[in-house]
Structure 1
Amino acid sequence: MDSRIFRDAMGRFATGVTVVTTQVDDETHGMTANAFMSVSLDPKLVTISIDHNAKMYSQIKQSQQFAVSILSDEQMDVSMHFAGQKENPAAVQFDFVSGIPVIRDALTAVVCNVIEFYEVGDHTLFIGEVLEIKLTDGNPLAFFGGKYGSYQPV
């Protein structure tokens, strides 16, 4: 199967947009990701999927912590910055929750300790035990077919 067809097919699944962050040696690192999901309520666990070639892969392995900030529909510039699509450091502001950087004004920030990781294909699934959650009001930034959009309730 052609890799482009697979990517196009997976792009037909509408997702929210997140920025995964961590801190190594007092330096904050982040990347845009949509490979995020809830795993368990008891204990509270989430997972993220990180490409082995991404800088974030070694940073999370080193820090053993990460945060997932679910972006609002007003934070497309933040997503584009961390996706390497548009340099806009002024759009990025951090808060710290349990010592981990999170995106300021994100709809949700989920802060985790890595408890397991599994190498699967060209990615690693990092399982995080949720330490703390921060919630903010707003509407989510959506992603579908390689394009940003907004959520429209029916």
Structure 2
Amino acid sequence: MKRSFSIILMAALLASPGSVLAQDIPQAASALGLSDIQIREKSRAEYGQRIHGTLPGGARVEVDIDGKGVIEDIEARGNDLFPIADIRSLVPAAVVESASWPADAQLEKIEFESDGRVEIEGRLADGREFEAEFAADGRLLDFDSDS
């Protein structure tokens, strides 16, 4: 009896929405350490996937993956913001090492462009909203914030 209950419980857990096996997570997204993961295909398989999950810091995010398995963007869901530290491993070293990189900011969104540019939106440590764009070599291309 115990064995059949265990098998039924395991089958139910594997079939339940939100249960994702490690091999189902695209490699690019596995570095984020997401939990509570749900993967959805975009309208056409060649367009990629959308992954909903929770970052280690607790923020719920949506990760857009293109058809080649590359992260296009990460966006906070609801009113959440996520610390840059939660996604730092995905940002090119030249950008992170830039004197203009707001290492203590909370992000609403980060976009990774095919030419290596990185665009971010969120709040600075002092609470001001901002948008910034960095070239692949770390140069600050644009920075706008609330005064």
TM-score relative to the length of structure 2: 0.27
Greater RCO structure (CA 8 Å; 6+ sep): 1
Q: Which has the higher helix share?
A: 2
Greater gyration radius: 2
TM-score relative to the length of structure 1: 0.26
